[in-house]
Amino acid sequence: MTNPYAPPQAIVADIAEPIDRLVLADRGTRLGAAILDGIIFAGMVYLPLVLTLMPGGAAGPEGDGDGALALIGVSLAAIGLVAWIWLTVRYVLRNGQSIAKKMTKIKVVRRDGSPVNLGRIFWMRNVANTILSIIPLYGLIEILFIFSESRQCIHDKLADTIVVRE
């Protein structure tokens, strides 16, 4: 018989995984994902522009130019940029991943294992890091932080994030 005066009981699931269950992403996988993201961006945005302007160039030999071809190239590049932004925002909102991070099965989380939000990734990992990149040799120093025990680059430390395997 149950006690009618007992406090209510509930099973509560933790939202964040315990930090000891998280496995940090390999340095090589992170590098590969960064390179792959660059290739994907270039393929979606720059490639259409280059392919349409490369054959004859925007201007012919007499400089008369083919404005229609240039407009098509710019339009395709804009469509590619919108598609890239849409996919990236979708994956970041869903699971803290870029397109390549999703392909390589790694993701960005807060250092305590909780999910990371789009604002933190955009402002702290990207914008703040871009502003700091005006400092000479910052890019090299920032990348070398990956060899620390925590495997956090400076942009990870700024945003209080880590990159883990899915």
Would you state the pLDDT for residue 54?
77
Question: Within 13 Å of residue 140, how many CA atoms lie on the same side as its CB?
Answer: 2
Please list the helix, strand and coil fractions of the chain in percent, rounded to the nearest 5, in that order.
55, 5, 35
Predicted confidence at residue 154, as pLDDT, reads: 93
Q: Is the pTM of this model over 0.75?
A: yes
> What is the pLDDT at residue 118?
92
Which amino acid type is present at position 69?
A: L
pLDDT score at 67? 76
Give pLDDT, residue 61: 52
Burial class (CB in 10 A: 0-12, 13-18, 19+), 123: middle
Q: Report pLDDT for 55.
A: 65
Nearest to 72 by CA among 38, 97, 48, 93: 48
Q: What are the pLDDT digits (tens) for 104-128?
A: 999 999 999 999 999 999 999 999 9
- Give the residues of the chain that fall short of pLDDT 50: none
For the chain, give every domain's residue range: 22-165
Which pLDDT value is given to residue 137?
A: 94
φ, ψ of residue 164 in degrees (nearest 5): -125, 165
